[in-house]
Chains A and B, each alone.
Chain A
Amino acid sequence: GESVGLHLPTLSVQEGDNSIINCAYSNSASDYFIWYKQESGKGPQFIIDIRSNMDKRQGQRVTVLLNKTVKHLSLQIAATQPGDSAVYFCAVLSPFGNEKLTFGTGTRLTIIP
């Protein structure tokens, strides 16, 4: 199977600074990864994804880095804003072709004004 772990359950960052949220996965055959953002009282919202044929992918103020050698991915948020305060999850697609995602337990990011 697959297990997914996040390195820190909570993270506090000053507004305007950059933040990095980390995630580790167990199955080296995994080839698709997603980051979700979950605000209080809402369902998870897709932020960015990456496939294993890439090391880096950028979106608006967000970058996902994938290190397949150590089975680690990270989400970088640039110039954090108060609206970035949320719980962030990584999810890893099962390599067995059954469309299943395995989720990490989440990192709660708090932006300090």
Chain B
Amino acid sequence: DVKVTQSSRYLVKRTGEKVFLECVQDMDHENMFWYRQDPGLGLRLIYFSYDVKMKEKGDIPEGYSVSREKKERFSLILESASTNQTSMYLCASGAGGAFNEQFFGPGTRLTVL
């Protein structure tokens, strides 16, 4: 079974803090994704990556950056957290190519005070 793990289930930070959300997958997948999930808005793509050291902006990249130094790990960075970044953050991975399904981690619920 594919396993996608996220470093924290719950996180509370203060406005202006730098926040790191870590994601690790164990299936040697090429593609990794970061989404945020908000009530009534569904899942929205923040950033994704096709390969190590590669990144692409998703639909809502503002206020976020990412890092992919190793194939299995994809980090989401909030340089200066703001209250409107309070949300559920979901990481996903996928093999890509003919295999388009994405496998999700359990999510990190981030609260910015």
Binding site for B on A (CB under 8 A): 4, 32, 34, 36, 41-46, 49, 89, 91, 93, 98-101, 103-106
Contacts and interface: CB of A to CB of B under 8 A. Distances in A.
A43 B31 contact: no
Interface residues of B, number: 25
Contacts, number: 52
Contacts of A91: 43, 102
Given A32-B100, A89-B43, A43 B56 contact: no
Of the candidates A43, A89, A93, A100, the one having the most CB atoms from chain B within 10 angstroms of its own CB is A43
B45 interface: yes
Given A42-B107, A43-B104, A101-B102, 15 more contacts: A32-B100, A42-B106, A44-B90, A44-B104, A49-B100, A49-B101, A89-B43, A91-B102, A99-B31, A99-B50, A99-B96, A99-B100, A100-B48, A101-B45, A105-B40
A43 B90 contact: yes
A104 to B, nearest CB: 6
B43 A93 contact: no
Of the candidates A89, A91, A100, the one having the most CB atoms from chain B within 10 angstroms of its own CB is A100
B21 interface: no
Interface of B: 4, 31, 35, 40-45, 48, 50, 56, 58, 90, 92, 94, 96, 100-107
A76 B92 CA distance: 25
Contacts of B50: 99
Nearest to B9: A41
A96 B61 CA distance: 19
Contact of A93 (B90, B100, B104): B100
A46 B103 contact: yes
A43 B4 contact: yes
A31 to B, nearest CB: 10
Given A43-B4, A44-B90, A99-B50, A105 B41 contact: yes
